[in-house]
Amino acid sequence: MAPIPQGGTVAVTGSAGFIGGWVVHQLLDEGYRVRACVRDANDDEKVGFLKAMPGYASGRLSLHSANLDEAGCFDEIFKGCQGVAHLSHVSSYDDMDYVKRVCDHVINSVNQSETVNRVVVTSSIAAVMSESDIQELVRRPVLYEDRYPDEQNPKRQANRGQGYSMGKVLAERAFADAAEESGRWDAITCCPGDNVGPILSAHQKNFGPWQHHIETMLLGQYSQNVIGAYRAWFTVDVRDVAEAHIRILESVNVQNGERFIAWSTETRNVEDVCASIDRLLPELGFAGAELIDPLPEKVQAKEAQFRAIWGGCELRNDRICETLGMAFRPLDVSIRDCVETLISVGGVEPVRKPGF
């Protein structure tokens, strides 16, 4: 029930991931001790970038293999930690019993540690706005922390594409309830928007999905947004999301069960994201890319209507700015840095105009 002490020890699940990698990096920069939890600490293709961090050489950063599908997997790792940043995905969002079970694995390890004060649960804007009926966004267009998807809609089913959103809401509540019951730690949620920004390791270009979309643009063909048909990207820089996690761990102003949306409120249609590349980096000679629309014909027929509904949404980040003092980078910076690292770290060869 307390913020973590400056320089304390934090366990980060999903450390090999896009956001988790940046949380580890920034925690080290700010003087913390970090236990990076990955599925396989010997898989250097995924964890080599962590071992290359200076803190690993001194031992301030250590790596730990843990598969959250296995009960007790974090028991030893969390002992002695004051904070946990729980960023890892789960193996599947199709089965809510499974999602609850793996939440309990993490929760039990937190309880057993007897040292953890605070857990940051990484949720998603999908737990704020993923609607089975898009008209719900017309009725409630303000996207802020107290908004949840319409959970009464009978179409809100895992097998109808709502599993990720349902699993995230379930996890938020499971952690907050367990923390309250324990009385010894608190659980605060971070709901990131669409993460764009620099990758730290080549394998991260394949995930995302947003940095992966930018990779496909560089390769010459990209897809219409199907995560919310025709929705613009509701963006945030991955480095700002990492900072938000650390500020939540440190804050004296947050309460168990609170959630903070981490996005800049800057939105951009996928076509304009692609067009930004040449505008921001003319030296690259990027040849542009072909847009594919994989949405079903009946959805394509409603493109204008969908765009209007998404365009009518109001993105808010007052709470995270006021409570945690966050300021967000502009999307142009995130796109530029994403492109440059996809090439320099990820080895992506962009399609170029003649002469480049």
Q: State which of positions 245-284 bind ligand NAP (CB under 6 A).
A: none
Q: Does 88 participate in binding ligand NAP (rule CB under 6 A)?
A: yes
In whole angstroms, give the CA distance from residue 242 to residue 200.
13
Of 300 and 333, CB closest to ligand NAP: 333
Choosing from 60, 69, 180, 351, the residue that interacts with ligand NAP (CB under 6 A) is 69
Q: Does 240 participate in binding ligand NAP (rule CB under 6 A)?
A: no
Beta strand 142-143 pairing with 233-237:
unpaired
Q: State which of positions 172-201 bind ligand NAP (CB under 6 A).
A: 192, 194-195
Residues contacting ligand NAP: total by CB under 6 A: 26
Q: Does 16 participate in binding ligand NAP (rule CB under 6 A)?
A: yes
Cα 65 to Cα 34, 36, 77, 201: the distances in Å are 14, 9, 9, 18
Of 20 and 163, CB closest to ligand NAP: 20
Residue nearest to ligand NAP (CB): 17
Long-range contacts of 152-159 (CB under 8 A, 24+ apart): 156/132, 157/132, 158/93, 158/94, 158/95, 158/96, 159/94
> Near ligand NAP by CB under 6 A, which window of 55-63, 67-75, 152-160, 324-332?
67-75
The residues facing 142 across adjacent strands are 314
Q: Does 149 participate in binding ligand NAP (rule CB under 6 A)?
A: no
In whole angstroms, give the CA distance from residue 228 to residue 217.
19
42 near 264, Cβ under 8 Å?
no
In whole angstroms, give the CA distance from residue 190 to residue 88.
13
Q: Does 39 participate in binding ligand NAP (rule CB under 6 A)?
A: yes
Tell me which residue of 105, 110, 40, 97 sits closest to 73, measured CA to CA. Answer: 105
Choosing from 122, 165, 264, 317, the residue that interacts with ligand NAP (CB under 6 A) is 122
Q: Given the rule CB under 6 A, which residues bind ligand NAP?
A: 14, 16-20, 38-39, 46, 67-69, 87-91, 122, 124, 192, 194-195, 204, 207-208, 210
